[in-house]
Amino acid sequence: PNPTTPLADLHRPPSPDPFPVIIFFHGGSFAHSSSNTAIYDSLCRRFVSLCGAVVISVDYRRSPEHRYPCAYDDGWAALKWASGEPWLHSGKDAKLRVFLCGDSSGGNIAHHVAVKAAESGIEVSGNILLNPMFGGNHRTESERRLDGKYFVTIQDRDWYWKAYLPEGANRDHPACNPFGPNGMKLEELPFTKSLVIVAGLDLVQDWQLAYTEGLKKAGKDVKLVYREQATIGFYLLPNTDHFYEVMEEIKNFVTSWPPLKPLKAVHEHCIKETARSTRPLPTHHAPTRWLRDPLSLPVAAQVRRAGKSVDGDAKGLEVYRRVPQSRARSANQPHTKLSGARIHD
């Protein structure tokens, strides 16, 4: 995008109360899916509604074309971008209250980005790992018992790791086995609090449980939510009690640890702010979609109907946010849009 093009206005609540920001990394074993995948798009919308949060869904590069550490680098770039955007800082102390969240490979990415944040002095409020993808060289009991029974095989897992890890590396590489023989010691790092969700029918559950134990042994705060009869991806479809129980756990973690108040819809007297970022969106990336609320059509679609086009200015990002409804569109205010979108006549 042309840096001289005016950015859209951002309508924010006038309240000084802090609000959470969730940076989300989709699953797909490092090799498939994207932030545009329907199940992840729906999950991000749900987080907006559930936690009253700004949600940033990262479209990281995938293997085998982009091996380690590309996905981690993209996750780190997303966190640095968010930390440099004043409109994502809230509360009287103008602080970024950011949570890293991901499922499968996305949970793995969240861990490694959190480690780099701890090393670099960027504060992360919490980590949410949903069936995180970890592993190691030896075969665990759950891998042998559940191989091929619930959607996933050991052969699949081995291929995905071979496609992502550096050439010649084995599964005890710290990217795969963070608390293995080559893992980093976290005892001296200010590593953030974690919520780890484990499904009892996921064949890599033993590695997920070992990860939780590794955090405990390192003296880090971690809460394990284990659902014995749940399968992988159960948090993506609202058709079981497990789903709603875990959504409540996530809501409580984000809004209560540390104490946060979800954003409330604003009916009048919004504050207008304009993002100043001019980072270009890669040409290969689909237009960024901006949501008015978790159940409405993207703003981009509404803008296109008006004969305009919309794109984004944040590399590889899709940003979701609950913003004012009809009253925000008054005679004195333009159509409600989100900061970071560019509107071209």
Q: Which residues are the active-site residues?
A: 104, 202
Provide the residue count of the chain.
Answer: 345
Tell me which amino acid residue 68 is. Answer: Y
For every residue of 126-165, DSSP letters joined together read EEEEES-----SSPPHHHHHHTTTSS--HHHHHHHHHHHS
Alpha-carbon gap, residue 131 to 231, rounded angstroms = 10
Question: What is the separation of C-alpha 224 from the centre of its chain, rounded to a whole number of angstroms?
Answer: 19
Map tokens 């449980």 to a residue: 209
Is 196 in a helix, a strand, or coil? strand
Do the beta carbons of residue 14 and residue 270 sit within 8 Å?
yes
Instruction: Identify the sign of the CA torsion 18, 80, 179, 71.
Output: positive
Distance in angstroms (rounded) separating the CA atoms of residues 335 and 322: 15
- Total Cβ atoms within 10 A of residue 86: 13
Please report the DSSP string for 232-275 in residue order.
TTGGGSS-SHHHHHHHHHHHHHHHHTTB--------S-PEEEE-
What's the token pair of residue 336?
């409600």
Distance CA 270, CA 247 (A): 30
Q: Which are the contacts of 63, defined by CB distance < 8 A and separation ≥ 6?
A: 30, 31, 70, 71, 160, 163, 164
Q: What is the spatial distance between Cα 66 and Cα 101, in angstroms, rounded to a whole number?
A: 21
